Structure 1
């Protein structure tokens, strides 16, 4: 695998751009910002320098948010941001600021909500105009250079914004004030309440109505895995509150979705793993970026499905995902990289596409026909250009039939047909590796690695794969070693060095991952000390999360840090996106940690987080599925002095039956444990580091 540090900007050879001067992004570590470092636009990174320039030059800011593997971000960079005409207009009218959404998901969440308020939808690249005080007054997504039909062009918008700022500034600022007030109103939490079983029932009925009974998933194109919906359905499939028929129906929705995705082009049938989403309802045509978060979420889904109703298919899916992330999203460190780009030097998706004659030249005659029939390969191609809407001679591989049907058609035994297809896939994968590879975003994110840690730990138990638990442990140790700054707190990103403070989503995801490691250690009978080490690790994270993210007045966790003076408001939500929300993950993890440590304060905080968003969950249950699921998992926690400390034990199975009311009751006035002594926890964490370090060295010596 080509080292990620050696790969250039997608679609541009290093020799073509080496002569271009770098702008202010040249010293940034983000691969996405580096992709814009040689644009003729005078980009600033997000920070006080940009806002000072806006005030000094009396200009609005143009904020563009994207990520390194985003196809449409690349398109806008090529068509607009690399264009001298656009750059001249931009530099004249605005102070341009570029943000990597994977480094600052808090900014992305805040400004994406602004875009949804203005337009009813959002996407990337996300583009906004801000007043010098940071308040937005106009938001949009991808823009072409020139106006096309109803789509305004950026070269037409920029002069208009300049004129409005100079000639009608009061109207612009009034619009910014109104938009800010509306956003603040939407984010203001009413009094705390309950999340009852009615919310779960309403959500389940809504998912049934939107479910695609033919192709799985929800709604129509484009289709995303929408893992929070699948996880919620799996919880309902295991709940004693539902009838057997309801449990069967909900599980079938998950099973059909996973199998349809597996067969579609969203799944990389050669190299493993899944693309972020499909542009069609049948999961055939993907946008080709492959994110670590997607792999972690789907690995967890496969593991939980296996726990509910074991099936060899889920193991195959899990092994496929783990194989991809360990081969293509990791290198010398045990942590995982962020993503694989959608583009290579040959264009979007070209790395994954095949012409019919390419395949026939690589495979023997007897295997080529079988393979082409299996994966819908046609001489004229099966892959259509998204903009032109026409076939372009290339094929995306997807399963067009079953092995049994192929075997009957070609007169083979099913096991022989399966082996021939496996041999053909291996040969094509070897040939594909000789192509120009898509770029790898080699930064390590605390939150996404936390999700993968938890997914690996859960999958290790579900599929009896102890190696996966050991990999998760090594990753957790690496994060603690590289991201925990004893003076500055936890940091969310590692790429040569770390300098971005951890956010609520980082703490919540890694805390959840560590509770899964604790669970896996208990199941594997790894010993009381190892289990206790993971609880100490979790408590260290929980205390940092509480200190840095908790809204002590209204409850819940802020997604945006209080240390950033340039953010016009601290944003807070429990709505799921592609992943469970930070507040829902935190509530789940704190509930588990409180039960395992007999720390009532953590359990109470879990309830308070859910109670803070109870009204929002009641108004829109489908957007708060993870929060509703978390509310069903509480157990009573006894104060420390009621009985002596016992050996850590595995938690009871997590089903909705654990909390029949599914509601939030006011916390009783009971004695709770005092705040853990921080020095003692740091010392236990240090011992934990030493233990894991020994385990890591031992594992590496075995590998050699």
Structure 2
């Protein structure tokens, strides 16, 4: 499979800049630009001070389509490069490798322009203070948008003639974006009414015709769906479950899903989930899989399990590193065109499948001779098709009066033929760096699948990834690193690395009952509290107290494409508080919710991962202790019963008969919980009250569902 290109065929040794020594695939993409790029570091800042130049900071990521466009238009252009090299000290940053830098300067861009996105372009002083911001900038000015050929000389002139004004502007910007970090946004607090309001806001923004929330572009936002499942469980509001199901079904049928190789693309550019932005991100696969798994638990509809297993099939096939971790992303572009790898002409389908087989495939996957994919520049039909469904294969088989298993098998034969043919195409480039936070989300997803599907193979994959992080990405002092590539670890861990890894280890313990994972969850949670917690105002900073000093330490609660570290911390603290019986941990979770309550209460739809934590805090929640021999069939069946049910607000511990000292050392309250009459016994506590222990599977399930 074609990996990310680090050089171009016509490169020569004279065209190598300082990025050639970096490990980031994104930085390596720019290593042969005529722009004299520096990586972020003191060498660049010293150069800027020495030469008395401002800094042009460009932030992006390897699978970003418009980052590629700006590189081709401007950064590969000798004229633009000459202007940039004369006027600035140019710095390139991979936003995935340095989310701390990206978070700060993206907030600057949003404050100054009212919008954000990548590529992110920042002009700043040698002491890192920004005075101008933009996203994509064309080479030449057009349609009222200033181009690089005009911007660079203008800024250079301002730096010479109006420097005091620029510096004053930079100071004002830093002051403005820093002001809200420590200020308390405490409100009246969050409670069950906040959950009700979040649901009403999601319901009002739900698209009844195409599912999902809002208009184009449409993002998956899986934590919206996991919140809706919890709200349905709490309120018995059928519409909440309906919205989650309709959204997952619409996504599975749409062009946002790769029907040939599986996995979800980044987002849909239209409101009908048809035309995706074709990049594939590891975190999307993990988070969507979590939503599918939980919806399967809630409904027992096998379609959701099938879809989740397809996602894992893609990830384990194409994104799994030999060492045990998962790669970050696959590009949208190949052969210089977005989506080319994923598109099909009807003639290609007939050539691969034959006329008769292709006829049925084209009918079901809604292709047309003219194609449904438009050329980006001319907006003309290309003859190529995005495969999509108007109805699920279940529905198609039912409409045609055919047996579903036989119908699906025929399409699986066609899919495999097309997949094998597609494998011969030039693949999109792969960003093969391994990141702790995104890998941890995959640990969560695989661990949940192992439990819900009663499939130990997924637990083994999750354990392999956790063991990789523990062996390769932890310092001798017990601190996490953020990035691994080419046998090199780098970049000190951020809040998301710790928060997501703790979450993954908690889920992995409950899938394997290996107490080493639970011990490590507690150890990394201790590190998180020690180095990231704001001991004065509460909550957690994005960076550690001993990390590189930037112009500010950010503190985020917004649940965007990825849940915020603070939201995940809140849930982790509740989990660990219930597992250990340590109420101080729960108090720290409540502290997060109180700290941000003023901000969250205004528009809770932006904080649905935090709402999942709030749902746990409001209750009911359960601590479940299974006392028994883990090798006995009786014990395994009871654990399977518990895992099959959708009971999101629970923790489950196993106290092995005769070997319960390790879990008792972590959770002292399980010491006196034991088997009854020689049988596997379940002890269920709910809302700080414990039920009578039971050995009866029906009674155990009744207590879970009560």
Bucket of the pairwise TM-score, normalised by the shorter protein:
0.7 to 0.9
Deviation (angstroms), 1:610? 2.2
Residue of structure 2 in register with 1:497 after alignment: 488
Pair 1:367–1:201, CA change in 2 (3 A): same
Contact 1:25 1:43 in 2 (8 A): yes
CA RMSD of aligned residues (A): 2.7
Choose which of 572, 577, 590 in structure 2 pairs with 1:594: 577
Residue of structure 2 in register with 1:608 after alignment: 591
Cα separation, 2, equivalents of 1:568 and 1:252 = 45
Cα separation, 2, equivalents of 1:34 and 1:133 = 25
1:412-462 alpha-carbon deviations (Å, 9 max, x no partner) = 665544332221111010000001111111111000011100111011111
Q: Secondary structure at the match of 1:500?
A: strand
Residues 1:222 and 2:217 are matched in the alignment: yes
Cα separation, 2, equivalents of 1:400 and 1:256 = 13
Q: Secondary structure at the match of 2:122?
A: strand
Any residues of structure 2 matched to 1:172-191 within 5 Å, and which? 172-190=166-184
Cα separation, 1, equivalents of 2:650 and 2:5 = 52
Unaligned runs of 5+ in 2: 620-624, 631-638, 652-664, 667-706
Deviation (angstroms), 1:102? 0.8
Shifted more, 311-320 versus 555-564: the winner is 555-564
1:216-250 alpha-carbon deviations (Å, 9 max, x no partner) = 111111111012212221221111xx2x3xx2101
Residues 1:270 and 2:264 are matched in the alignment: no
Pair 1:517–1:492, CA change in 2 (3 A): same
Residue of structure 2 in register with 1:519 after alignment: 510
Residue of structure 1 in register with 2:693 after alignment: none
1:102-130 alpha-carbon deviations (Å, 9 max, x no partner) = 11112222221211111222111111111
Pair 1:440–1:196, CA change in 2 (3 A): same
Residue of structure 2 in register with 1:195 after alignment: 190
Q: Which has the higher contact order (CA 8 A, sep 6+)?
A: 1
1:593-615 alpha-carbon deviations (Å, 9 max, x no partner) = 12112233322222222222222
Deviation (angstroms), 1:347? 2.3
Residue of structure 1 in register with 2:535 after alignment: 552
Pair 1:626–1:404, CA change in 2 (3 A): closer
Residue of structure 2 in register with 1:465 after alignment: 455
Contact 1:632 1:655 in 2 (8 A): no
TM-score (norm 1): 0.86
Residue of structure 2 in register with 1:16 after alignment: 10
Q: Secondary structure at the match of 1:64?
A: strand
Deviation (angstroms), 1:160? 1.3
Shifted more, 170-179 versus 332-341: the winner is 170-179
Residues 1:484 and 2:479 are matched in the alignment: no
Residue of structure 2 in register with 1:664 after alignment: none
Cα separation, 2, equivalents of 1:216 and 1:560 = 37
Deviation (angstroms), 1:582? 0.5
Choose which of 280, 300, 319 in structure 2 pairs with 1:310: 300
Residue of structure 2 in register with 1:575 after alignment: 558
Cα separation, 1, equivalents of 2:587 and 2:627 = 21
Pair 1:42–1:313, CA change in 2 (3 A): same
Residue of structure 1 in register with 2:501 after alignment: 510
Cα separation, 1, equivalents of 2:16 and 2:89 = 17
Residue of structure 2 in register with 1:536 after alignment: 519
Pair 1:510–1:565, CA change in 2 (3 A): closer
1:147-188 alpha-carbon deviations (Å, 9 max, x no partner) = 110222122111111111111112212222222222123333
Deviation (angstroms), 1:192? 4.5
Deviation (angstroms), 1:622? 1.7
Any residues of structure 2 matched to 1:258-407 within 5 Å, and which? 258-403=248-393
Choose which of 604, 616, 620 in structure 2 pairs with 1:621: 604
Residues 1:437 and 2:427 are matched in the alignment: yes
Pair 1:84–1:98, CA change in 2 (3 A): same
Cα separation, 1, equivalents of 2:426 and 2:569 = 41
